[in-house]
Structure 1
Amino acid sequence: MRADDVVRSLTTPLNAPAFPTGPYRFTNREYLNITYRTDPQALAAVVPEPLRVPEPLVRFEVMRMPDVTGLGDYTESGQVVAVEHEGECGEYSLAMYVDSFPAIASGREISAFPKKLGAPRLYVDSDTLVGTLDYGSLRVATATMGYKHRLLDPTEARDEVTLPTFMLKKLPGYDGTPRICELVRAQISDVTVKGAWSGPARLQLFAHALAPLSDLPVLEVVSASHILADLTLGRAEVVHDYLARPA
């Protein structure tokens, strides 16, 4: 293979890439979102500067993705924190747990989504929408919401889905020192909200050394939403380089 072809290739293995070239279009992406209030000191320990935490709010999310161009069918779950960056409101993606290797690899390599392997599920149990997350064989989160109790304004749902997302991109050099250490921003675009609902909700988090969701304890459930939408992921852009030297 010629050197130019190596450079142009998206990822490895060169003869069977771990994931295809985007953009990635999501059809019938289904969300269960539960926003809750947590301990401000616990947030301060995990949200990196220069992001600012205006309120101690965390969103636990489970996302069912049955039809993704190039990536197929998978589910992911995680925690995002309400933040501000240079006056812009958004969310910091703290951790994501995913049941698909191509989705993990593409999310980490192309962008900066903090994805690792997990076993999330989203399903309807009688009159209840249920989202669960297992790490290995152990349950680390259980979310429940009344199924389609109240219609949610589609504009409100769209605003929730399209909030800017901030992520930390870290890649070490071969000597173990940081080679890339950046804060990046991405935003979902081209959204069609097909349905949106709210209802009563509860969230349980269970302690685990390697999936420490419960380190951000649930003090009060603030809101919950169930959203069905088609959308496209936007490209990530660098907003802060931690390794850049002052001029």
Structure 2
Amino acid sequence: MKAAEVARRLATPLTAPAWAPVRSRFTDREYLNVVYRTDPEALRAVVPEPLEFDEPLVRFEVMKMGDSTSFGPYTESGQVIPVRFGEERGEYLHAMYLDNVAATVAGREASAYPKTAGSPRLFAEAGALVGTLDVGTQRVATATMGYKHYPMDLDEARAELTLPTYMLKIVPGYEREPRMCELVRTRITDITVKAAWTGPARLQLFQHVLAPLADLPVLEIVSASHIITDLTLDGVRPVFDYLKER
């Protein structure tokens, strides 16, 4: 294979890349979102400058992908933190756990999603919508919400999901120094909210050294939503270069 051809490749392994170089469209993506109040000092320790937060809130989410271009169905879970970048309000993706290798690798390599391996589930049981996250055989999180208790305004649901999203893009060098360390911005586009509900919810987080969701403890449940959508993820652009600032 000629050098010019190698230079055009976007992913490894060279002849069998782990992800397809296409933009994914998600169909029937189902969300369970639980927003809770946490310890502000714990939150301050993990939100990177220049992002700031006004209230010590965290959104625990479980997302069941009914179908997605190139990845197929899978499930994802994580923590999202409402933040400000200057005057713009958005969300910082703190951690994501999922059960699809291609989506994990593509999220990290082609973008900056903080994805790693986990076993999330989203299902209805005994009148509740249940979202769980396991790492290996260990339970890390359990969320429950009253199943379709109250209709949610679709515009409100759309606004909840389409805030600008901030992530850290960190690429290590070969001498244990970063080659790239940037804050990047993206957002959800081309979204169709098919249905949405709200209701009472509970959330339990369990201590795990490699999945430290419980480091942002649950002090009070603020709100919950169950949303079904079709959507596309936009590309990313850098908004802050930590290496230049250093």
TM-score w.r.t. length of structure 2: 0.98
Q: Any idea what the Cα deviations from partners look like across 1:19-70, whole Å, max 9, x if unmatched?
A: 0012110000000000000000000100000000111000000000020001
Give the residue type in structure 1 aligned to 2:164. Answer: P
Give the residue type in structure 1 aligned to 2:11. Answer: T
Compute the displacement of 1:245 (Å): 5.2
Does 2:90 match 1:90?
Answer: yes
Unaligned runs of 5+ in 2: none
The 1:212/1:245 distance shift into structure 2, 3 A limit, reads closer
* 1:21-170 → structure 2 map (5 Å cutoff): 21-170=21-170
- DSSP 3-state at the match of 1:10: coil
- DSSP 3-state at the match of 1:103: helix
Partners of 2:172 and 2:11 lie apart in 1 by 17
Partners of 2:182 and 2:108 lie apart in 1 by 13
Percent sequence identity over aligned pairs = 63
Partner of 1:186: 186
RMSD in angstroms over aligned alpha carbons?
0.9
Compute the displacement of 1:6 (Å): 1.1
- DSSP 3-state at the match of 2:47: coil
Partners of 2:205 and 2:245 lie apart in 1 by 40
Partners of 2:27 and 2:199 lie apart in 1 by 24
Partner of 2:16: 16
Partner of 1:223: 223
Q: Any idea what the Cα deviations from partners look like across 1:55-106, whole Å, max 9, x if unmatched?
A: 1000000000020001111100000111000111111000000101101000
Q: Any idea what the Cα deviations from partners look like across 1:173-220, whole Å, max 9, x if unmatched?
A: 101101000000110000000000000000000111111111101111
Give the residue type in structure 2 aligned to 1:31. Answer: Y
Give the residue type in structure 2 aligned to 1:107. Answer: G
Compute the displacement of 1:5 (Å): 1.3
Partners of 1:6 and 1:68 lie apart in 2 by 28
Partners of 1:15 and 1:73 lie apart in 2 by 24
Partner of 1:176: 176
Partners of 1:191 and 1:7 lie apart in 2 by 34
Partners of 1:188 and 1:245 lie apart in 2 by 28
TM-score w.r.t. length of structure 1: 0.98
Partners of 1:62 and 1:187 lie apart in 2 by 18
Q: How many residues align?
A: 246
Partner of 2:200: 200
Give the residue type in structure 1 aligned to 2:242. Answer: Y
Compute the displacement of 1:126 (Å): 2.2
